[in-house]
Structure 1
Amino acid sequence: MIAVALAQIRIHWARFLAIGLGIALAAGFVATTLIINSSLQDSLEHAVGRSFEKADLAVIPHRDVFVGGDEASPLLGPLADVDGVSTASLSARTVTTGRGASFSESSFALSPVPADERHDTFDMVSGQRPDARTDLVLDTRTAADLAIGIGDEIRFTVDAVPVGSGDDDMPVYRGPSQSSVTFSVVGIAELRQDPARPGASRALTTAAGYQEYFAQQGDVIAIQIALEDGADPETVRSQLQRAIDESELDGSLEALTVDDAVSAKTDRLSGGNVVVTGFLLVFAGISVIVAILVVSNTFSVIVAGRRREFALLRCLGATRVQMYASVVAEGLFVGVLGSIFGVLAGILVSRGLMAAAVRYWPAEFPYDTLTIPVSALISGIVVGALLTIVATIRPARSAIAVTPLEALQPFDVSISPRTRARPRHLVGFGLIGLGTLLVIVSVYAVSTSERWILGGALGGGLVVTGLVVSSAKIIPPVVAWAGEVLFSPWGVPGQLATLNTLRNPQRTAATATALIIGVTLVATILVGGMSTKATLSHGLDQRYPVDVSVPLSGLVDDDELDEVREIPGVSTAVIAHRAEAVEDFEGSRPEIFVLDPDSADTVLGDAAADIVSGRVTVPEDYSSATVRVRGLTEMSVPVHRDGLSSLAFFTTPEVGNDLGISATTTAVLVRLDEDVDVDEIARIRQSVAEALDVSSEEVGGSAVARGTYSELIDVMLAGAVALLFVSVVIALIGVSNTVSLSVIERRRENALMRALGLSIAQLRTLLALEAVLISSVAALLGLVLGGALGIVGTRLVTHGYSTDLIVDVSVVSFLGILGVAVIAGILSALAPARRASRLSPVEGLKLDF
């Protein structure tokens, strides 16, 4: 029977080609994901290892322990005094903001140079190593990107000046929120990539300069230990650990060998890789599920077309087991062959992605090594093989379900009864009902517990599963209705196309289901993502009705304020004063702005409540009748409950005068134009920071937060839709398979219609309409179901951030998806239509199938 299976594949290779392509896509997706994960992991380990290449031992913080540079510096002396230690160098990092003459603002990752030049892990390109406290060495890429040369100056934001708490009878001193210091560039060096912050601008300064200006802000990466000649590493390591245990950092640091330190650091930094790999594997799993549906449906059609052949083999002595094994062997051969091609394609795709990442995003991806583990190759092949075996179980069972005598009789498989389908349909409808009920309960109960978000996700999964299980009862009626309404105007081809898709409801349902899954997920992500952005934006406007706010510690002159108002996209800007809330509200300390009502009307958003003289405007659910506020004095102020602004409270100048608000505790509040695009917010934030001479990190507000999470959601949407595209392609391959095999089954029928007067153009139109009907109905059902799930998901995720649900449905995107489905349906019918049109009526009527 193995010989029979191989002969079938050789003779009817065209029927199995599309099956192999679908398997190759799914297996290649899995292999590519594992190759990328392994390459990222190895690249990360190499990058970490290079940072320790000059050390003999390393002292690193324990997992999830933050150790500041100012805390670790006193320990350097005791560690250097340990017998056998030559030097102990602090490796630390501080992320701060810098400004220069050639650039407005940039984020820098600053580190101290090692105490001993012999332990440098960078190569000087020009200039000299830093010597003075305010000397700076820049990375070559940073210098090129920011157009900085030796002798240029950069002004950095450094440690904040503490604010004294004061006694009840003493005024509170408010120092400047930020200080700055100017550094001079004395050298350009080739720095090794920082795996923790691959995209940041890199710079080095002296250990003394780092300790004085940046240590409080930064964290310790490691203390690198160089040993004297002949020192025993294990003995020194034990003594180092003893010195640590006797210090104030006992329990915070551990002394390790370099290999152990590299492994520990790599493990801690690889969390992002694990997330990315998990994210990719989820979509790979979706593509595998879609491929199973496509392969199973295609094999079912192939097996149905060979019923007489199977019957003849049974008459010649073949057992049911042999017949079953023959079908599974065919699938396994095609699956393994397709998986091998898919894995090879996955290697090429991984290499292409690595080359693109290194070329276009060299700073963001520590992706310098392509690693192809054998486990990834084997996993891809095994997934493809198992996928095919699972998909061929049902077709193999149908091949042995009839006796030889029944199979030799004239029998139209397409209208064969499905006596065992009723329990399956009942289960499917039960899952849909249970899932719908769980979704409804989750939407109403999510306010009591965050766990109901998982309940809603489970409910949505049950609905989709129920649709898949009972698709033969749900999809054919929808196809019949769509064909009657939309395709009747096409005349005879349109009517025949509708009837042909309904001749085998199981096949049509399985073909459409594969595409429904892909489109449903795309629609869920699109609607959920866009609606989440809109709902979060609305919730932010309610909770913090200030587009842009800049807290200052000094007076603002009219020229600076006018410069802010002239920024494109800014509607207005006003000056407010700041007070301090003594107590938290809903887990955070709200800002209190002292603002006159006229200015408030111009600068606050539409969701802001009115400001009442002599009171502090608080949200409706504020429980107390007063709010404790601190200025130069502290007092309880009556509240005015209105609106939902929980992150910012507002009061009038009368209250400010009673509190004794300092004239220098100011803030600039900015309102943006209504039509400002989210992409413009980052530019406006930068311009406001420049106009007021502050760091952009100090520029906040609801619009800034909206711009940040909108960018993140957009990136996730683009990535998710791109990954789901593989599943959609596999599903469209299934549509093409269905039409192609339908042509093979109906050769005599098509020839007879040609003999009765059906033209070649009408025959091609007939087949194209069949494919379009299946793909368009699947796309419509997927869009409806996905849109509903996206809305539900938005409500579940954003229930705590906004009282209202804002549904944002992109009609253009939906029409685009539907248009792609229609075009793909037409394209999938081209090859079958060409094959059908080449067959003359006389030749077609001679065939005996």
Structure 2
Amino acid sequence: MFTEALRELRHHPGRMVATLIAIAVSVGFLVGISMFVRTQGVALGKEQAIATSKADVVVDTGSASVDPDDVTQTIKKTDGVEAVDPVLSTSMPVSHDHNSAMIDLHQVPAEPFRWSTVKDGAWPSKADEVALSQDAAERLHATIGDTVEFSGKNLKVVGITDDPTALQTAPAYVGQLPTQTPTTWVVKATAGTKPEQLVTNLEKSMPQVKDAPQFNKGNGDATISTASSFQKNTINRLTTDFDVTKYMLMIFGAVALLVGAIIITTTFLILLAQRRRQIGLMRAIGASSGQVRRRVLAEAIVLGVIGSTLGVILGILLTVAGAAYTGALAFGLAWPWRDIIVEFLIGVIITVLASFLPALRATRVAPLEALRPVPTVEQKRRIGTARIVVCSLLAVAGIALSVQAITGTGTSIIVMAVLSAICLSLTLLIATPLYVPWVIRGIGFLLRPLGPTARLSTSNANRNPTRTSLTAVALMLAIGLSVTLQVGISTTRTTVMDQINEHFPIDLTFTNAAIIDPNTGDVAASTLDPSAIKTVRDLSNVKDSVVLKGGFVSSDEFSSAHVLSGNPDEIAKVAPSIAKEMKPGVALVPSSLNPMPKTMTFTSSKGKVTLTVKEAHGLDGIDVVVSQEDLSRIVPSVSDQSIWVHLDDRSNLAPALTVMMSIPNLDSQHLSIGGGALIGGIVELILKALLVVMTALLGVAVLIALIGVANTLSLSVLERRRESALLRAMGMQRRGLRLMLLYESIQVGMVGVIVGMVAGFYFAWLGIRSVFRVASETVPVHFSIDWPWTLGLIAICLVAACLASVLPGRRAAKAVPTEALADE
């Protein structure tokens, strides 16, 4: 059987190319996800644990408060210890000229523990010197001799190290980090002392440290372990977190596999329909149904093995390219062999299962029936009746579940929505031969003005509704899933970002902090430095800014409330959610205030003023925002107190923070930097990255579907070879035949687009509405559609449908009518 399958593949490779591509892309997608995510996790784990890479043992005191010097001395006195060094590092923005970057700043490790070498220059030996990694130097466009700025301090670059390209923040080294308190120590064992023995020795000596935690007891975060074990645990923690991402991405791998399985099924159905006469002849001369079925399944196994092998190779290549782009390749590829083997087997199994239905259908046809040119009317009627009954039951169940999901409450509505989507999806897919002809007639009505060729293409597409629906169903499924998930992502992003903007309305604040006189307890008067205001406003990333005036006054709730106000129109450009609540008689207070009072009374030299309290997100500490009218009643002498900033790009904080932290006398002037740009920017980056990744992954599903459309169109043209030849013999020109096939492919493609988009919009609305209702009934859901992406998807599908008809059309048009009409 396998020999015959290989012979069939060798003699008719064109029939199987699209199937092999669908399998290879689907399996390559899964392998790429497994390898790339694991490679990224391992690389990030090695990067985070790189400070322990040259150690034998690692001592981690966790959250315990201990004297660092006491810990260091105790470790030194332990038997078997040759050297010990505390691990000190922090993250901060650094700038050089107009370039900024986030840096992992390490204190230069002792000689035995250095994991990198200086490739140019020297290690820093003075307080004002720094060594940059090659990656950091390239980001900052800095070289040896240049001066870079760390949190307002200028450091001279004296060396460039050979650290690998960082996945997140680039490393740099200074002689000392005086503000950091170590929690981790690396230890080198003496010659002849095994790391495991040194761990035992340290477990006995470390309890001598004052306030020492319990090490390795499982009830805390303090550990003494070998360096290899410490690094492995770090990598495992990160890869476990990355595995969550992997499993989420595997959902889209399942989508690609599902679309691929449908394409494989439709391809086999058309292949077997094309070989119907051949199969009937085999049955007529004595071949049993089991022999025919085994031959079809053998072909499926051969295709599955070859396609899955190509998919594994494709996945490895994708991982290498992705890891090289992110820099993870410097730490080596991770090989999750178990996942790769499972994914290879999944590709083979999916191919066999997808071919099982066509194989059964082919072997259940009687020999004489198979030798007829078309199925009998009675057979069509039986299939149509069964299809109508099944689809009606599924549709009723899907509608009933949708009603429950829309009107119900509790977490069960998500289950109802999912079940409804499954039932309605099956209804649409199974019922395609029932409604596709009607949709094509509607599209054909629009094409009627194009002439008799267009009308003939509509009639021709409806002559065999099963064949036409098989051609459209893969594209219909891919478009439906893509639109569902794209609209879901876009709606989620819009809704979440609206919540971010409401809870973190101010990107950055630069404000006066309270200065308490230690003798009297009064708040000293202060004014925001005009030069600081100008510096903040001149930041390149600032879109809008507003200066708020006010002062410090006492209140019932705060010993010294920071009362602020400004022009509502200007505040609306920076924090619209705060501006719309600014009304006379209302005091906006931080939402973190607990308990939240109903009123607030302010006491100053002007007397007492009582205002109604309303909570507002985004305010810090003791900030209270009032109307300009109320400010004049509360604060005796107002001055510039704070500047609020709205950034063009919240995720690009490094340049702004670098400039703001370099303002002279920042600490002495009691100025503070706040705002929600950090949290908002992180969430925004995650959502943007998720949208890009999911759009790319969904593009794979659409690509597989388009391959299926091209394949099924090509095979349907081959199946209708005699039909096309008859049209040519009756006088149709080659151009007319090609044009007829073009019109037909456009109509079939539009069926997939229309049905897929309508279903996708509904499923997205139902799913997102259900999820947010379970999360919070008070969160307004903003239904959002990414129109450029959606319209681009339609254009791609139509262009692909047109291109899919070019080659088959040329092949049909070039055939000599007399040869095509001859019996095979």
Q: TM-score, normalised by structure 1?
A: 0.81
1:780 equivalent to 2:754? Answer yes
Q: 2:185 aligns with which of 220, 223, 234?
A: 223
Higher mean Cα deviation, 405-414 or 773-782?
405-414
Following the alignment from structure 2 to structure 1, what is the Cα–Cα distance between the partners of residues 783 and 561?
Answer: 32
Residue in 1 that maps onto 2:805? 829
* CA-CA distance at 1:636 after TM superposition: 12
Alignment RMSD (CA, Å): 4.3
- Aligned mates of 1:49, 1:543 — CA distance in 2: 35
1:689-734 Cα deviation digits (max 9, x unpaired): 4796779x97665777665544433322222222222221211121
CA distance in 2, matches of 1:716, 1:739: 34
Residues 624 and 144 (structure 1), Cα distance of their counterparts in 2 relative to 1, 3 Å cut = closer
1:66-106 per-residue CA deviation (whole Å, 9 max, x = no partner) reads 54897756422222221221222222432223455x35654
Letter in 2 for 1:110: L
**For the Cα contact (< 8 Å) 1:563–1:691, is it kept in 2?**
no
From 330, 340, 362, the counterpart of 2:299: 330
2:442 to 458, 477, 481: 481
Structure 1 unmatched runs, 5+: 158-179
Separation of aligned partners in 1, 2:810 and 2:651: 51
Check 1:699–1:822 CA distance in 2 against 1; reply closer, same or farther (3 A cut). farther
Matches within 5 A, 1:463-542: 463-484=424-445, 486-542=446-502
With over 3 angstroms needed to count, the CA separation of the structure-2 counterparts of 1:583 and 1:538, relative to structure 1, is farther
Say whether the 8 Å CA contact 2:369–2:375 is kept in structure 1: no
Take 1:537 and 1:435, find their aligned partners in 2: how far apart are those partners? Answer: 32
- Preserved CA contact (<8 Å) 2:59 2:225: yes
Question: Residues 770 and 188 (structure 1 numbering): CA distance in 2 closer, same or farther, change over 3 Å?
Answer: same
> 2:819 matched to which residue of 1?
843
**Map of 1:819 onto structure 2:** 795
- The residue aligned with 2:369 is 406
Cα offset, 1:290, TM superposition: 0.7
For residue 113 of structure 1, what is the amino acid of its counterpart?
Answer: V
**CA–CA separation in structure 2 for the residues paired with 1:137 and 1:466:** 65
Q: Which residue of 1 aligns with 2:598?
A: 626
Residue matched to 1:198: 167
Deviation at 1:224, TM superposition (A): 1.2
| 2: CA distance, partners of 1:510 / 1:638 | 73
Counterpart for residue 705 of structure 2: 731
Quote how far apart the aligned CAs of 1:303 are. 1.4
User: Contact (CA 8 Å) 1:539, 1:802: kept in 2 or not?
Assistant: no
1:27 alignment partner in structure 2: 27
Alignment match of 2:75 (pick from 74, 79, 84): 79
Matched, 1:97 2:93: yes
Kindly provide the amino acid, as one letter, of the partner of residue 249 in structure 1: P
Task: Report the secondary structure of 2:567's partner residue.
Answer: helix
Q: Which residue of 2 aligns with 1:138?
A: 132
Deviations 1:422-474 (CA, angstroms, capped at 9, x unpaired): 5565555555555555556556667x66x755664565455434433444444
Alpha-carbon distance in 1 for matches of 2:122, 2:551: 46
User: Retained in 2: the 8 A contact 1:538–1:802?
Assistant: no
CA distance in 1, matches of 2:332, 2:592: 56
2:237 matched residue in structure 1: 268
Secondary structure of 2:168's partner? coil
CA contact (8 A) 2:164 2:330 kept: no
Q: Hey, what does 1:165 align to over in structure 2?
A: none
CA distance in 1, matches of 2:7, 2:530: 88
CA spacing shift, 1:244–1:830, aligned 2, 3 Å: farther
1:600 to 552, 558, 568: 568
1:249 aligns with 2:213: yes
Comparing 341-350 with 799-808, which one deviates more in the overlay? 799-808
1:575 is matched with 548
Give the direction of change, closer, same or farther, for the CA distance of 1:419–1:842 in structure 2 (3 Å limit).
same
SS at match of 2:380: coil
Note the alpha carbon deviations across 1:6-46, whole angstroms, 9 max, x for none.
44434433222222222222222233333434544665576
Report the 3-state secondary structure (helix = DSSP H, G, I; strand = E; otherwise coil) of the residue aligned with 2:188.
strand
Does the Cα contact within 8 Å between 2:100 and 2:139 map onto a contact in 1?
A: no
Mapped contact 2:555–2:561 kept (Cα < 8 A)? no
1:53: how far off?
A: 3.9
Match of 1:771 among 721, 738, 745: 745
Aligned mates of 1:698, 1:846 — CA distance in 2: 89
CA distance in structure 1 between the aligned counterparts of 2:491 and 2:169, rounded to whole angstroms: 32
What residue in structure 2 maps to residue 171 of structure 1? none
Residue of structure 2 in register with 1:176 after alignment: none
User: Could you say if the C-alpha distance between residues 322 and 814 of structure 1 is closer, same or farther in structure 2, counting changes exceeding 3 Å?
Assistant: same
**Helix, strand or coil: the match of 1:417?**
helix
For the residue of structure 2 that corresponds to 1:59, the secondary structure is strand
Report the Cα distance in structure 2 between the residues aligned to 1:40 and 1:561, rounded to whole angstroms.
42
1:122 to 96, 109, 116: 116
Distance in 2 (alpha carbons) for counterparts of 1:480 and 1:544: 53
Secondary structure in 2 matching 1:330? helix
CA contact under 8 A between 2:618 and 2:675: conserved in structure 1? no
Q: Which residue of 1 aligns with 2:693?
A: 719
SS in 2 for 1:202: strand
Mapped partners of 1:455, 1:627: distance in 2: 45
Contact 1:303–1:399 at 8 Å: present in 2 too?
yes
Residue identity opposite 1:95 in structure 2? S
CA contact (8 A) 1:287 1:730 kept: yes
Change (3 A) 1:813 1:661: farther
* Aligned pairs for 1:232-247 within 5 A: 232-244=194-206, 247=211
After TM superposition, give the deviation of residue 647 of structure 1 in Å.
4.0
Q: Distance in 1 between matches of 2:426 and 2:552?
A: 55
- 3-state secondary structure, aligned to 1:758: coil
Which letter maps to 2:132?
L
Question: SS of 1:419's equivalent?
Answer: helix
Quick one: which amino acid aligns to residue 188 of structure 1?
A: G
CA distance in 1, matches of 2:769, 2:207: 51
Moved more, 623-632 or 346-355: 623-632
2:626 pairs, out of 651, 673, 679, with: 651
1:120 partner amino acid: R
Q: Deviations over 1:731-787 (max 9, x none)?
A: 112112222222222222111111222211111111122222122221222223323
Verify: 1:745 aligned to 2:705, yes or no.
no
Alignment of 1:58-457 (within 5 A): 58-60=58-60, 67=63, 74-99=70-95, 102-103=97-98, 105-114=100-109, 116-132=110-126, 135-148=129-142, 155-157=149-151, 182=153, 184-185=155-156, 187-190=158-161, 192-193=163-164, 198-206=167-175, 209-210=176-177, 212-215=178-181, 220=183, 222-244=184-206, 247-250=211-214, 251-355=220-324, 357=325, 361-362=326-327, 365=328, 367-370=330-333, 375=338, 378-409=341-372, 411-412=374-375, 416-417=379-380, 419-420=382-383, 426-428=389-391, 430-431=393-394, 434-435=397-398, 438=401, 441-442=404-405, 456=417
Q: Provide the C-alpha distance between the structure 2 equivalents of 1:405 and 1:49, rounded to a whole number of angstroms.
A: 72
Kept after mapping to 1: 8 A contact 2:124/2:174: yes
* Cα displacement (A) at 1:237: 1.0
Q: How big is the shift at 1:205?
A: 3.1
TM-score (norm 2): 0.83
Aligned equivalents of 1:741 and 1:370: distance in 2? 41
In the alignment, the residues of structure 1 paired with residue 711 and residue 42 of structure 2 have an alpha-carbon distance, to the nearest angstrom, of 41
What is the Cα deviation at residue 832 of structure 1? 1.0
Q: d(CA) in 2 for partners of 1:327 and 1:416?
A: 23
1:293 Cα deviation after fit: 0.5
1:270 alignment partner, SS class: helix
Aligned length: 788
Note the alpha carbon deviations across 1:132-172, whole angstroms, 9 max, x for none.
55653332332343244556555544xxxxxxxxxxxxxxx
Q: Is the 8 Å Cα contact of residues 131 and 161 (structure 2) preserved in structure 1?
A: no
Could you say which residue in structure 2 is the equivalent of 1:160? none
Is the CA contact (8 Å cut-off) linking 1:627 and 1:636 kept in structure 2?
no
Counterpart Cα distance in 2 of 1:573 and 1:667: 8
